[in-house]
Structure 1
Amino acid sequence: MSTQAQQTTSGQTRLAFEIGLLLLLSVIWGSSFTLIKVALPTIPPFTMVAARVTIAAVLLVLTALAQGHALPRQGPVWAAFVVQGLLQSALPFTLISWGEAHITSGLAGVLNATPPMFVLAIAVSAGRGREAISGRKIIGVALGLAGVALTMRVDARSGFGTAVPLAQAAVLAASFCYALAPIWGQRFAGLPAIVTAAGAMSCAAALMLPIAAVLDRPWTRAPTMQAITAVLGLAIVCTALAMVIYFRLIHTLGPLGTTSGSYLRAGFAVALGTTLLGESFTWSMLAGMMLIVIGVMAVTAPMRKP
């Protein structure tokens, strides 16, 4: 086998591995919508998010130290971590958790599938990477959004005069945060993924703990064991583990490729909400999921060199 052929095969193998990680991340984050819904009846949103990011921060810091990594000491790096923690965790987690108090977990997952659209719009408006935004990627984003539209099943009359429209807007605002987060996160390319995750999550915890203490008074709550288990799952799997995978994918697939996983995440959120929580399912949702998968493939596959 020629050197060029070996390089091609190696590149295809690496791409397959990264897309596999994207799929795993989508499953993990898709399940987070279900876990949030399980925890909400007895754990309010601010407390849930504070517990989630604090447990994850402790795990990530301990893991980074165990691997021999030292956390940065430079002030500007920690200032950047604060922004990353706000955009990637503290703010979107809170918006989604509050939103799910008024809409289904599946619908929240679908509405949260819009980050690639925002990433593309930001890239075009900022004039960055326009040469890398091919017609195929634009079509892929369009197909994904078409899939989102098909999987949405909202009764406008049921939302009239309620908090439902505001909840939907909150989840869309979380999507905008998720679009900004990987763009901002590219500045940490020189740091190991575990260090970036640990720093950003520590800052998210520092932001959320006082807010939860003042607004929720968590020591007055009586959460169920099911809710506690759900929060532990959110913290350990959906946050700590997911963040390590996420920061790796930012460097390998790029912001648009990484956020395209939100399309897959929407499909898993709908599927889990349907099977585990008894939320409604329609054939339009199935058709939408198929478009979502095609859209992800179009966005993440590399361009062939002429």
Structure 2
Amino acid sequence: MQNRSFEYALLGCLALLWGSSYMWISLALETIPPATLIAVRVSFAALVLVAIMAVRGIRMPLDGPSWRLFFIQSLVNSTGPWLLLAWGQQYAGTAVSSVLNSTSPLWVFVFSFLILQSGQRPGPRQLIGVLAGFGGIVLIVGVGALKDIGETLVPQLAVLASAALYGIAALRGRLFSGLPPIVPAAGTLLCSAIVLVPVSLVADRPWQLSPDLTGLGAAVILGIACTALAFLIYFRLLTTLGPMGTASQAYLRSGIGVFLGVVFLSETLDLETFAGICLAIFGVVLINWPKVRKPQIAAATGKEVS
């Protein structure tokens, strides 16, 4: 149980890192365009992880199949969803985007029935947890946000697609279970950088930019904490808590965002938002509640078999 508690603490830490990233992104975007910010974020994070690997004497695999896996993972775990979300949120609105982007646990549940074998699929308790968590997100963002769904259809579909890619990424994480978490984290981010740096060079001409110290500081924090450290935790949790448990951090992010707003921005916490946070936490608890193993009874001896 102690080890399990540590994994839950890491899940909360991951939600905190990714939940706070919205604040750092908003600060950085004042002087750094989106494509360049994402490119700097993944490149800096990849360099940090590669440096840590060098110090610890961990080597990246050099075979083609491993790098194909890293590249595909980068498309569904970072490059694809981040670009889709950055574009879609501009037109879909923050509230609707928050609701749609939090559906990754729902996608994990759906894709599990298409990909996993019957014994590995989530059960009814996890379905209730997924639905409860999503209901909590709706309350946190505000039920009124749902009325805007469908008005800007294509951008909203882009945001929804980013959540679906996160769901696919969580399930694909099983492919890296035999590697130290830092290896797929570094490989994924290196592949993202290979794609995003040229996009930044063409789209933004970053050599002509003049970012301020606040923007640069926010970009550094995004790279070290919200990307490098977060990806380390993410790939560890995929092994320990599984895809569904790891994806459940999406339900905690909005609550953390509200908490940061109350603490640092003097925002108020109304009853609807508080109820939403409680419901989201309840959903996460249900999703991650350990399965109870029924003891097998040996017919011949009458003794329990573990």
For Structure 1 versus Structure 2, the TM-score category normalised by the shorter chain is 0.7 to 0.9
- TM-score, reference length from structure 1: 0.87
Q: 2:185 aligned to 193, 197, 202, which one?
A: 197
* Cα distance in 1, alignment partners of residues 261 and 202 from structure 2: 32
1:82 paired with 2:71, answer: yes
Structure-2 change in CA distance of 1:167 and 1:298 (3 Å): same
After TM superposition, the structure 1 stretch with the greater mean CA deviation from structure 2, 201-210 or 122-131, is: 122-131
Alignment of 1:39-58 (within 5 A): 39-58=28-47
Structure 1 residue 209: Cα displacement = 0.3
Match of 1:261 in 2: 249
Structure 1 residue 281: Cα displacement = 5.8
Structure-2 change in CA distance of 1:65 and 1:227 (3 Å): same
Q: Is this contact kept in 2: 1:123–1:129, CA < 8 A?
A: no
Match of 2:197 in 1: 209
- Ranges in structure 1 where 5+ consecutive residues have no aligned partner: 1-11
What's the RMSD between the two structures over aligned residues?
Answer: 2.5
Match of 2:300 in 1: none
Q: Is this contact kept in 2: 1:112–1:171, CA < 8 A?
A: yes
Deviations 1:45-91 (A, max 9, x none): 11110000000000011111211111101011001100111111112
Deviations 1:92-143 (A, max 9, x none): 2223334454577676444322111000001123353456422111111110
Q: 1:184 aligned to 161, 172, 195, which one?
A: 172
- Ranges in structure 2 where 5+ consecutive residues have no aligned partner: 295-306
* Cα distance in 2, alignment partners of residues 48 and 185 from structure 1: 25
How many residues in Structure 1 have an aligned counterpart in Structure 2? 293
Structure-2 change in CA distance of 1:197 and 1:174 (3 Å): same
Aligned to 1:245, the other structure's residue is in SS state helix
Match of 2:273 in 1: 285
Aligned to 2:78, the other structure's residue is in SS state helix
- TM-score, reference length from structure 2: 0.87
Deviations 1:168-206 (A, max 9, x none): 443322211111112112111111111111111100100
* Cα distance in 2, alignment partners of residues 211 and 260 from structure 1: 31
* Cα distance in 2, alignment partners of residues 101 and 36 from structure 1: 14
1:112 paired with 2:101, answer: yes
Alignment of 1:36-185 (within 5 A): 36-101=25-90, 108-126=97-115, 128-129=117-118, 132-153=121-142, 154=144, 166-185=154-173
1:249 paired with 2:237, answer: yes
After TM superposition, the structure 1 stretch with the greater mean CA deviation from structure 2, 167-176 or 113-122, is: 167-176
Q: Percent identity?
A: 38
User: Match of 1:112, as an amino acid?
Assistant: N
Query: Based on CA coordinates, which of the two structures has the bigger radius of gyration?
Result: 2
* Cα distance in 2, alignment partners of residues 223 and 276 from structure 1: 24
Q: Is this contact kept in 2: 1:27–1:268, CA < 8 A?
A: yes
* Cα distance in 1, alignment partners of residues 265 and 53 from structure 2: 36
